[in-house]
Chain A
Amino acid sequence: EDQVTQSPEALRLQEGESSSLNCSYTVSGLRGLFWYRQDPGKGPEFLFTLYSAGEEKEKERLKATLTKKESFLHITAPKPEDSATYLCAVQTSGTYKYIFGTGTRLKVLA
């Protein structure tokens, strides 16, 4: 069964304290792995798509990487405005469905 697991569930960082969020996946074939940001009371907002192992993408303080079994979202020198829930999702080969993980709640303290 296709599955996406995110860890940790919650993470508290001091401003400037870099860290990584993990998304491990088990799928029959990967079309794409996606990262979203969700602020309280709002819909998820797209961040990145990764397609194959070894791929990396960056946006401001965020960098997403992909291996054959997991993806990491690295946050460098985070700021309080980076506080949000970060969601990982996959789309598997032969389908147009999306499977989401349960997310990581990130709190960055000033």
Chain B
Amino acid sequence: EAQVTQNPRYLITVTGKKLTVTCSQNMNHEYMSWYRQDPGLGLRQIYYSMNVEVTDKGDVPEGYKVSRKEKRNFPLILESPSPNQTSLYFCASSLSGLATDTQYFGPGTRLTVL
């Protein structure tokens, strides 16, 4: 089944404790992206990647890191999480990132930073 998977689905952590949220897709997509979703602010793009070793900032990249060492994986790294990073995070992928491609979303990771 074609899908985007994220792990963990739920995470509670404390301020300053480094964490990684994994994202994997099995559709051989070039484009992958991370979003956060907050009430009243909607979905905001954190980072995106056009291909292996190619990443670029979205609208809210501060406090986040990403890496794209393999085509199928795009982990999101929070090196020193803070409470304002408490949010619902979604990973997404599409064939090439063009508007003609459908973007597929993962099931989400709910992160709470205490």
Interchain CA distance A41-B100 in the complex, whole Å? 27
- Chain B residues 35 to 73 lying within 8 A of chain A, measured CB to CB, are 35, 40-45, 48, 50, 56, 58-59
Whether B74 sits at the interface, judged by CB under 8 Å, is no
Q: Verify B108–A41 contact, CB threshold 8 A.
A: yes
Most buried by B among A43, A44, A51: A43
Q: How many residues of B contact A (CB 8 A)?
A: 28
Known: A96-B56, A96-B97. A42 touches B43 (CB 8 A): no
Q: Are A96 and B50 in contact (CB under 8 A)?
A: yes
User: Which A residue's beta carbon lies closest to that of B42?
Assistant: A102
Interface residues of A in 85-110 (CB under 8 A from B): 87, 89, 91, 96-103
A34 at the interface (CB under 8 A from B): yes
Chain A residues, Cβ within 8 Å of B4? 43
Q: Evaluate whether A87 and B42 lie within 8 angstroms (CB atoms) in the complex, with A97-B58, A99-B59 already known.
A: yes
- Does B82 make an interface contact (CB < 8 A)? no
Asked whether B104 lies within 8 Å of A46 as measured between CB atoms, the reply is yes
Task: Please give, as numbers and ranges, the residues of chain A lying within 8 Å of B107 by CB-CB distance.
Answer: 42-43
- Which of chain B's residues have a CB closer than 8 A to the CB of A87? 42-43
CB within 8 Å of A: which residues of B?
4, 31, 33, 35, 40-45, 48, 50, 56, 58-59, 90, 92, 97-100, 102-108
Q: Interface of A with B (CB < 8 Å)?
A: 31-32, 34, 41-46, 49, 51, 87, 89, 91, 96-103
